[in-house]
Amino acid sequence: MHDFAVTEKYSLFLDFPITLDIERAIAGGPALDFEPEHGARIGVMPRFGSDQDVRWFDVATGSVVHTANAWDDGDDVVLQASRSKTSDIAGAGLNAENLEDTQGQLYEWRINLATGVVTERTLSDVRCDFTRVNDAHACHPTRYVYAAAFNTDRPFSFDGVMKFDNETQTTTTFHYGANRFGGEAVFAPKVGAKTEDDGYLVCFVQDEAAQQSECLILDAQDLAAGPVATVMVPYRVPYGFHATWVGDL
Ligand SMILES: [Fe+2]
């Protein structure tokens, strides 16, 4: 498990079938593997509860690297994350032939704690990971999810950012352009922000042709317009680098 999620009342643990087996690795196999025969389940534990308090709910088999957000909604606990049918970090892993299965899509699990019924659905067709929300709204319902959009030809490469709107069920994207790749985009609210998406997405991009790293700042309310500012970075920023925005404490 690489990440978990928290609501006001619960902590959610994702027991998905990515296994770590050192003996398998010594024998020449993958250290990390995807073993769907183990199934998948989500554990719901009251905040500051113990292992005795965890309730497990079976879900469709797949895998999640990063969660976006989770919140309470009456008897329901809602979790949103990028989910892939198999895994992009384990087993046969990444190759250009299986990207449809290994790259995640934004997904929602709605767990009814009164009836035990879990409802699952894919939210967006765009393949993505590094999901983020406006952190001021974390653990509470969020309308918008931001994520790094996968390049659908080259394994483990992100060529843009996306924004999903839970209210309109629509996705908008901004692509960095040819030979330009990035990673996680962090939401930074404007000073005196009035709405959830009143702020900026900050992300790092590498222009592979120019061998130039850049920090892009996009208006979160108008991704398609492209960056409102670009900071040229004098050193290479490696893919996978990510950070968080900390405002005035
Ligand atoms: Fe991570």
pLDDT digits (tens, 9 = 90+) for 165-221: 999 999 999 999 999 999 999 999 999 999 999 999 999 999 999 999 999 999 999
> How many distinct helices (H) and strands (E) make up the chain?
2, 17
pLDDT of residue 240: 86
Distance 52 CA to ligand 1 centre (A): 28
Per-residue pLDDT of 219-244, as tens digits, reads 999 999 999 999 999 999 999 888 78
pLDDT of residue 26: 96
104 touches 84 (CB < 8 A): yes
Q: Where are the domains of the chain?
A: 5-233
Distance 28 CA to ligand 1 centre (A): 26
Distance 38 CA to ligand 1 centre (A): 23
The residues, ordered by sequence, that sit 6+ positions from 182 with a Cβ below 8 Å of its Cβ are: 148, 158, 159, 160, 161, 176, 203, 204, 205, 206, 216, 239
Distance 94 CA to ligand 1 centre (A): 17
What is the rounded distance in angstroms from the CA atom of residue 12 to the CA atom of residue 107?
A: 15
Per-residue pLDDT of 66-85, as tens digits, reads 999 999 999 999 999 999 99
Distance 129 CA to ligand 1 centre (A): 9
245 touches 221 (CB < 8 A): no
Distance 113 CA to ligand 1 centre (A): 28
Q: Dig out the tokens for 51 from the structure.
A: 């292992």
What is the rounded distance in angstroms from the CA atom of residue 104 to the CA atom of residue 99?
A: 9
Distance 5 CA to ligand 1 centre (A): 13
pLDDT of residue 175: 98
* Alpha helices in 8-70, H assignment, sequence order: 22-26
Distance 65 CA to ligand 1 centre (A): 7
Distance 240 CA to ligand 1 centre (A): 8
What is the rounded distance in angstroms from the CA atom of residue 178 to the CA atom of residue 180?
A: 5
Mean pLDDT of the chain: 94
Distance 169 CA to ligand 1 centre (A): 26
Q: Dig out the tokens for 226 from the structure.
A: 């492209």
R_g of the chain, CA atoms, integer Å: 19
Which pairing describes strands 55-59 and 63-73: parallel, antiparallel, or unpaired?
unpaired
106 touches 71 (CB < 8 A): no
